[in-house]
A and B are shown apart, each in its own frame.
Chain A
């Protein structure tokens, strides 16, 4: 079998011409353009569920309840200084090696690791042999009990999926109500219309119900997810 060489320019022109023909009964493209470009430049807000407008404390409880309902662990600690011990104890509790793989994240690097000398840290993207990945969340979303992670050298995307265990540190100040607040923060951090290579929303350990409709946790991604929620600001 041979393949034809695909002329992308011609196909593109064809598809746009066809679309314009299909839309010809509506308003002219020039008339629609201003509205469409304005709508993208300044996205309209849609109604938000009541559950995202609750008190800070209720949002925190909701966030935790959703994650625990998805078989994730949520550890609440007072300050950044408590994070290494919380991670080490969680690993010990699950009989896991005291080693984590992490990226160049500044807030994670500045944690007082010397307080847990037994806990080893390796730097870089995930290797097949890694048992636990450690990431710093960009945000937490109380609406559904979800972590938002942005990829980059600070938090390599493979840490989220390759190791069997994933620990995510979230500063309480980064816990928001709805997804829409994450969009606002992304626009602030990366610029309007700009995105990191991936934004990962994670709401529990990986799962499947593809065999006989029965739910099994630990499909292809992590079998365990641990969220460390830090009350005081981190850096």
Chain B
């Protein structure tokens, strides 16, 4: 997928002014966030399980070479064809070849963020002349608008019901013009009817995988709609596109991490469907795909092992960090400019496409720490963002004003006497100018005051208050 992460600031500005987006984002708090809180409360062991899950994943990554080997052996023994893709381009080529060998005209797809990462749809369409149909409802909505997902588990969270209705009327022109599309259920039904035909005629079904299990050589998908299962069981060929860090050692490890996934993601006890797939159709089976391929993508992940960013490989893509992020909640996912938005995106995107392109993202944080609090895998997201900020600074690519500002602050911060003096003079001045205690615009701080007021300092400096307090204590 092409990146616009370098445009983050202007992307964010546009997002803040987008009324439809703002109204759609308003659903986050009452929905996913509230549901997670409830689900977490209903499982008293939740916190303890986070530590266990973290250990499982750390152990897996520290032995990824061995687990990958065991997985491959078991998957092959069960009839899977296992492909290794170092880069996005490799993965695209592998999948295109599988589709060509299958003489594919129609390909159905379950939800897969890795497929977004490698820009799969565009490649199959352009290079293979193949019709690619996203079947997860949210992905379908995004596809027909020629957009990209704005959230890793709720791809169309940026859309309102009204926008969906308008799109359906614009595109599903074979249906009666006067049909009623008032209820979400009516819209869901319409999509169901259209996608049914695609499931029935697809030659290849592509899904992602939430995990690969070394012990059994299985892949697993976790869904609610059942589209992933129709995708993978009706076509003659099932292709799994996934990435190297999705491995877990055993079924026990899997069930432990699954206890965290749905609860953190949608706040469900578990997702409606969890499907373990091992190999292709068996000799006596009446259905299921005769061909089963697994494409394992690296695309820069191995490079993170042994660095301060290794922790990010524990991510199970639950989306909790973005659901709880004040920045994501204000601007949505598209502003981040690449596949993975929110805090996880701010850490992963610079790692996968470079800090030069995505250096703005780690700055898209208030450092409130909520993301790390809710991350089921205990990934220290704010710390990792801070590492990227340092890396960005070292690159020397920061804008002039930014550097001058930091240098100015550093000058005073290293000279306490001067700092006090400047604060003593500056603060009362500022409070004099701030009307009714707030600034609605301020030189050098337009980025802040354009969207909100800056509270004006109220009289005395922190240092003065502290000194008074200390004096009070000793008195």
Chain A interface (Cβ < 8 Å from any Cβ of B)? 1-6, 8, 11-12, 14-16, 18-20, 22-26, 29, 32-33, 36-37, 39-40, 43-47, 49-51, 66, 70, 103, 124-126, 128, 144-146, 151-153, 156-158, 160-162, 178-180, 183, 186, 193-214, 216, 218-222
Q: Quick one: which of A3, A146, A196, A219 has the most chain B CB within 10 A?
A: A219
Q: List 11 A-B contacts (CB under 8 A).
A: A2-B127, A6-B94, A19-B64, A47-B48, A49-B44, A103-B286, A153-B284, A195-B218, A211-B141, A218-B185, A220-B195
Using Cβ atoms and an 8 Å threshold, which residues of chain B touch A25? 306
Distance of B67 from chain A, by nearest CB (Å): 7
Contact A16 B269 (CB under 8 A): no
Contacting residues, chain A, for B62 (C-beta < 8 A): 23, 26, 32
Give the residue name and chain of the A residue nearest to B278 (CB). Answer: A195
In terms of DSSP, what is the predominant structure of the interface of chain A? loop
Contacts of A204 in B (CB 8 A): 272
Does B303 count as interface, using CB distance less than 8 angstroms? yes
Given contacts A6-B90, A195-B78, A202-B272, 12 further A-B contacts (CB under 8 A): A11-B83, A15-B298, A16-B68, A18-B302, A29-B65, A193-B216, A195-B218, A197-B279, A202-B273, A209-B266, A219-B225, A221-B225
Which of B84, B271, B284 interacts with A203 by CB under 8 Å?
B271
Is B164 an interface position by the 8 A CB rule?
Answer: yes
Total A-B pairs, Cβ < 8 A: 285
| A209 close to B154 (CB less than 8 A) | yes
Closest B-chain residue to A158, C-beta based? B287
**A207, B63: Cβ atoms closer than 8 Å:** no
User: B224 to chain A: which residues have CB within 8 Å?
Assistant: 206-209, 219
Smallest distance from the beta carbon of A32 to chain B beta carbons, Å?
Answer: 5
User: Chain B interface (Cβ within 8 Å of chain A)?
Assistant: 24, 27, 31, 43-45, 48-49, 52, 56, 62-70, 74, 78, 83-86, 90, 92-94, 96-97, 126-127, 135-138, 141, 154-157, 159-161, 164, 184-185, 187-189, 192, 195-196, 199-200, 214-218, 224-227, 229-230, 233-234, 244, 249-253, 255-256, 258-259, 266, 269-282, 284-288, 296, 298, 302-303, 305-306
The interface residues of chain A lying within 8 Å CB-to-CB of B161 are: 211-212, 214
Using Cβ atoms and an 8 Å threshold, which residues of chain B touch A2?
127
Instruction: Evaluate whether A46 and B286 lie within 8 angstroms (CB atoms) in the complex, with A19-B68, A29-B65, A36-B70 already known.
Output: no
A204 CA to B271 CA, complexed, in Å: 9
- How far is the CB of B276 from the nearest CB of chain A, in Å? 4
Within 8 Å CB of B259, what residues of A?
49
Beyond A156-B287, A195-B78, A212-B160, whether A19 also contacts B273 by CB under 8 A is no
Q: Report how far A124 CA is from B286 CA in the complex, Å.
A: 7
**A49 CB contacts on chain B under 8 angstroms:** 43-45, 259
A72-B66 Cα distance, complex, nearest whole Å: 42
